[in-house]
Structure 1
Amino acid sequence: MQKIVKTIKELVEIPSPTGYSADALTYVEKRLESEGISYRKLEKGAILASLEGESNRARLFTAHVDTLGAMVKEILPSGRLRLAQLGYYSWTAIEGENCLIHRMDGSTVSGTILLHDSSVHTSQETGTVKRTSENIEVRLDLKTTSGEETREAGIEVGDVVSFDPRFIHVNGFVKSRHLDDKASVAILLELASEWKEQKLPYPVHLLFSNYEEVGFGGNAGFPQEVAEYIAVDMGALGDGQHSDEYTVSICAKDGSGPYDIGIRHQLTQLARREGIPYKVDIYPYYSSDASAAVSAGHDVRHALLGPGIESSHSYERTHEESLQATYDLLNLFVKEPMNDENDV
């Protein structure tokens, strides 16, 4: 668990909004190389690592390194910036957050994401105005009072903006932005280290994707012999949900439709048999790399599970117990025979 938490910290502190994830992917590559695990890079930039197994059929596990972020949409006459979202979130979820603007030359400028008029001393509407793309701005840590001065500083439309993760590990809790899905990336990296030493019943492919937050990650580039596609993502917590921060969350259905019921039953039976704490849940406003693969036409049986993440797509939190339960269930499942029963 100490290794997993350390890996999460290292990952979330690498800026990797969707479309700008090369550094996070390089981190994954170095980890795989250090373990002697073979991999290849796909054309979209994702990494596919492979472990040998005894069967011709294969399992694939995926987690994504891309995170929420933003892009400079407009440079305002005041010198501040207006943003376009990368991924989906509420503007209130990032208000007051420190950020970095990644210039095309590779350098960065820091700033803060704020309401246009955020001072209660100058506006009586600060507490009630609706937060939208038209009134959320980036206040740059530059001496700039005009759009021209901001451009002279090397900032342009299309520059990527990343959010300060604010990682904290306290009392077993891990608090940070971007636990979706870097918590699961960390789990898969640690499992890869263990699985490479084992005699696996099926070949295992580990796909570290980089476009999940915009819906087309993980939908191509994996071998045809993959029969089971397991997305290791997050369990979304909230009103009406069963998942929590102390169990592994197994998804029955999300916004893309139901997941394979045979694999789901296999996961739940395995968790009950081995005493792994779990919850089955439905995520109404959610999709995954597994559902993207099925939507792209791949003939695979797909499933989704992961640690329970509180305040998803905001300032997120999970607990070591949830990380451990996810790790344990995956570590047992990889050795189980495939269940070909499609209808239960």
Structure 2
Amino acid sequence: MIGKLSERYMLDILEMLLLTPSPSGFCHEIMGKVEQEAARLGYAMTYTNKGCGVITIPGRRSDKVIGMSAHVDTLGAMVRSIKDNGRLRFTPVGGYMMGSVENEYCRVHTRDGRFYDGTILTTKPSVHVFPDARELKRDEAAMEVRLDETVRTKEDVLALGIGVGDFISFDPRTQIKPSGYVKSRHLDDKASVAALFGLLELIRRETLVPAYTVKLFITTFEEVGHGAAYLPDDITELIAVDMGAIGDDLSCTEVDVSICAKDSSGPYDYQMTSKLIELARREGLSFAVDIYPQYGSDASAALRGGRNIRAALVGPGVHASHGMERTHVQAITHTAALLAAYMQEE
């Protein structure tokens, strides 16, 4: 393994990211924190027009530029309408099962910078009152936000400054266990961002120089499908760093780095994927190669957007993706270690 990655550093960064609300399209606060951390490590971060971040690490050679992307945006919601009874109907941001957010604590962020806490419930939330509460279909029309404010009418809600189009973030309920497990919402894909920063901290601490110039690309619209549809023009290879799925006929576990050979956008680059498998074996990493037919990544967005790049996909294994997720610090560390090995290859 090239250098010793700091697990403590990556967990600290991960916790900071998880505790900062950032549904797709509402990432200004978290990107400010990402920029500050990059500056603390000695790197400037520039922004694309739509708010993605680029951190450049000069290499020994510049005839090829390798991109490594991860997204800070998460699942969330927006206020769709305000009901006459003071409850909020919401529309999802990102793709998740409505049942996975039932009874979740949430926060409504107003356009003028205020926020209000609440709880996501069905419109028939009590078995003591509604005989069909158990059978109620969990869809958008049957879900609402109960605000933790004394509101009984639409006018009461409007008086708080809440309006249609306000963002709603979910309480991540983050826990970092002594066993190394991390359970939280939004490990997709903040665990991968933590791995990228673990790599950046290693490069700075050990004064490593990549074989080629590397650009870390922090995206803000992945969960809605166009995170890396635009890339800096000089990137010719892109490794999307995103969570590995677990279950069914998949090999990945919560302690592994996932190497995805194919997802909904088709097969990833053969040479890049083969090199990543070879390096994972050489470095003694715990890894799995899997197929994710119901999955898309930043690399998918770039390829579908017509970018003439080679692309691969790796990331820490995450159980119960888009639900109450869980991973292990080893998966994050081994992801960063695989990226460190790749960036050193001529």
The TM-score, its normalising length taken from structure 2, stands at 0.95
Aligned to 2:14: 8
- Please point out which of 193, 197, 202 is paired with 1:194: 202
Verify: 1:219 aligned to 2:225, yes or no.
no
How far is 1:324 from its partner?
A: 1.7
Matched residues, number: 336
Q: Secondary structure at the match of 1:235?
A: coil
Amino acid paired to 2:115: T
Work out whether residues 258 and 314 of structure 2, in 8 Å CA contact, stay in contact via their aligned partners in 1: yes
Corresponding residue number in structure 1 for 2:97: 90
User: What is the aligned partner in structure 2 of residue 44 from structure 1?
Assistant: 50
Take 1:253 and 1:136, find their aligned partners in 2: how far apart are those partners?
35
- 2:239 is equivalent to residue 239 of structure 1: no
Residue 263 (structure 2) pairs with residue 263 (structure 1): no
Q: Check the 8 A contact 2:86/2:156 in 1, yes or no.
A: yes
How far 1:243 moved relative to its partner? Answer: 1.0
Q: Shift of residue 2 of structure 1?
A: 1.2
Q: Which runs of 5+ in 2 are unaligned?
A: 1-6
Q: Is the 8 A contact 2:199 2:337 kept in 1?
A: no
Q: Does the alignment pair 1:208 with 2:210?
A: no
What is the aligned partner in structure 1 of residue 3 from structure 2?
none
Structure 2 residue corresponding to 1:298, chosen from 301, 304, 307: 307
State the identity %: 42
For residue 23 of structure 1, report the CA deviation from its aligned partner. Answer: 0.6
SS in 1 for 2:327: strand
* 2:252 aligned partner, one-letter code: S
| Structure 1, unpaired ranges of 5+ | 338-344
User: Shift of residue 85 of structure 1?
Assistant: 0.5
The residue identity in structure 1 corresponding to 2:176 is: H
Structure 1 residue 262: deviation in Å?
1.1
Task: Kindly indicate whether the alpha-carbon contact (under 8 Å) linking 2:35 and 2:44 is maintained by their aligned counterparts in 1.
Answer: no
Superposed displacement of residue 291, structure 1: 1.2
Pick the aligned partner of 2:293 from 261, 284, 289.
284
SS at match of 2:168: strand
Offset at residue 139 of structure 1 (A): 0.5
Whether 2:138 is the aligned partner of 1:131: answer: yes
Among 145, 152, 165, the alignment partner of 1:158 is 165
Provide the secondary structure at the position in 1 that maps to 2:289.
strand
Residue 38 of structure 1: how far off its partner (Å): 2.6
The farther-off stretch of 213-222 and 44-53 is: 213-222
Contact 2:245–2:292 (8 Å) recurs in 1:
yes
2:4 aligned residue: none
Deviations 1:210-238 (A, max 9, x none): 000011111214132x2210000000112
The one-character-per-residue Cα deviations of 1:260-307 (angstroms, maximum 9, x if unpaired) are 111111111111122111100111211111111111111110000000
CA distance in 2, matches of 1:279, 1:189: 22
Aligned partner of residue 134 in structure 1, secondary structure: helix
TM-score, normalisation: structure 1: 0.96
Q: After superposition, what is the alpha-carbon deviation per residue over 1:77-111, rounded to whole angstroms, capped at 9, x for unaligned? A: 11100110101100011001000000111010000
Distance 1:69 1:274 in 2: 37
Matches within 5 A, 1:24-173: 24-55=30-61, 56-170=63-177, 171-173=179-181
1:91 maps to a residue whose letter is: M
Of residues 9-18 and 267-276 in structure 1, the stretch that sits farther from structure 2 once superposed is: 267-276
* Deviation for aligned residue 1:54: 2.2
Question: Which of 176, 184, 188 matches 1:180?
Answer: 188
- What is the CA distance between 1:193 and its match in structure 2? 2.1
SS of the aligned residue for 1:236 comes to coil
Tell me, in whole angstroms, the C-alpha distance in 2 between the residues paired with 1:221 and 1:228: 11
Aligned to 1:310: 319
CA distance in 2, matches of 1:108, 1:296: 36
Task: Confirm or deny: 8 A CA contact 2:79 2:90 kept in the other structure.
Answer: yes
